[in-house]
Amino acid sequence: MLKSPSSCSRERSRLRCAIAVFLAGATAQAMAWEPTAPVELVVPAGTGGGADQMARFIQKVVTDHRLMRQPLSVVNKSGNSGADGLLDVKASRGDPHKLVITLSNLFTTPLATGVDFSWRDITPVKMLALDQFVLWVNAASPYGTPQQLMDALRTGAPGALRLGGTGSKQEDQLLSVLLETAASTRISYVPLKGGGDVANSLATRQVDLTVNNPIEAEKLWRERVVRPLCVFDGQPLEYRQKVSDDKSWADLPTCMSAGIPVQYLMMRGIFMAPGATPEQVAYYSEVLDKVRQVPEWKEFMIRGAFKQTTMQGPAFVDWLDKAESFHRLLMREARLLPPKAGPSASDLPARKK
């Protein structure tokens, strides 16, 4: 039986005691789980978007700081509005080497498509942050304020302005419908592959406005190619570091203060495949805590104007449950849910002859 450090004084030999303590520590360390194969981080979205950028940032930090013994790779699986990636993780039950970074399609894709997936099918690990949505126009656009854009929507021909967004019946189109409601008009929604494509489409004036995340268009704003008008949050952003034209994220008004009654934030979180053990969840949670402690994380949060909200365990599960209900309500009001199927012939009462 291994001795505790307090029993060392009763040992015949200090060397024997030292060996016993070393073996006890080695045994405890051996009991802690860690990956035994390369780890895959699935992005259920296209390249260049907010989820993809955060996943690749995490990969770089983990690699540069040697936070894991096994390599971490990022794989984009954006097909079917991200369903391909979500279903891949769901099908990997018991595989502790499969992770997924989540966004709002965790809720919107199952609701919009009826695909056999729920966030309860996978294992929550940790919410890393909440991502903002910003109303953007091209820098050459005549709209310099959100009020000017809303006036143009209200007075212009329905469908005259084009809003580029990621996918169909996802968060970008949801915001598009909410903007339509606020302006009592119609906006032409242009579905694109990912946040990177959306930002580039605005830069090349293929669309007139977008609702990109800050991290997706920050570089273009810095280069004075696009212009942010307002943020879809109830309060201004906190970051006062200058980005472009002596303006910071904190200088943006809220869209609500500009008469656009829309508020929406999106989760950036990490999940595991179903069947993960508490020890496996704890391992990745600790790795992510270490990621959040490096100086580069602070810089990434500033660049992307993230709201640094983090949670795990029961609090995270409760948040997810409420977020799902919130998205179901929003999508029903926006008429983005599929029509309910009518009763089948077998469900109908038999006709009397």
Tens digits of per-residue pLDDT, 47-83?
999 999 999 999 999 999 999 999 999 999 999 989 9
Q: Is the pLDDT of residue 319 over 70?
A: yes
Please tell me the distance from the alpha carbon of residue 34 to that of residue 133, in angstroms, as a whole number. 36
Which of 211, 300, 191 shows the shortest CA–CA distance to 264? 211
pTM for this predicted structure: 0.84
What pLDDT is stored for residue 29 in this prediction? Answer: 43
Q: pLDDT tens-digit profile of 77-126?
A: 999 989 999 999 999 999 999 999 999 999 999 999 999 999 999 999 99
DSSP class of residue 250 equals G
Please tell me the distance from the alpha carbon of residue 184 to that of residue 178, in angstroms, as a whole number. 10
Q: Please, which residues have CB within 8 angstroms of residue 334's CB and are 6 or more apart in sequence?
A: 173, 174, 177, 178
CB-based burial label for 206 (10 Å; 0-12, 13-18, 19+): middle
Using an 8 Å Cβ cutoff, are 129 and 308 in contact?
Answer: yes
Give the pLDDT band of residue 27 (cuts 50, 70, 90). Answer: very low
